[in-house]
Amino acid sequence: MELRNVGRSGLRVSVVGLGCNNFGVLDTEASRKVVHRALDLGITLFDTADIYGNRGGSEEQLGAILGARRKDIVLATKFGMPMDDSGHKKGASRRYIVEAVEASLKRLKTDWIDLYQLHQPDPATPLEETLAALDDLVHTGKVRYIGCSNLPAWQVAHAHWLARESGFSSFVSAQDEYSLVVRDIERELVPALEAHGMGLLPYFPLASGLLTGKYKQDGEMPAGTRLALMKRLSDRYMTEANWRIVDKIEEFCAAQSHTLLELAFSWLAARPQLSSVIAGATRPEQVEQNVKAIEWKLSAEQIAEIDRITRKI
Which of 47, 90, 310 shows the shortest CA–CA distance to 176?
47
Q: Is 285 helix (H, G, I), strand (E, B) or coil?
A: helix
> Contacts by 83-88 with C-beta closer than 8 Å and gap 24+?
83/50, 83/51, 83/55, 83/56, 84/55
The answer to whether the CB of 1 falls within 8 A of the CB of 43 is: yes
14 vs 174: CA distance, rounded Å:
16
Q: Which residues, in sequence order, are CB contacts of 22 under 8 Å at separation 6+?
A: 31, 34, 53, 58, 280, 281, 282
Q: Provide φ and ψ at 278, rounded to 5°.
A: -85, 110
Q: Is the dihedral of CA 255, 250, 262, 195 positive or negative?
A: positive
310 vs 267: CA distance, rounded Å:
11
Q: How far is CA 235 from CA 143, 210, 240, in A?
A: 38, 12, 10
Q: Is the dihedral of CA 240, 248, 275, 304 positive or negative?
A: negative
* Catalytic residue set: 52
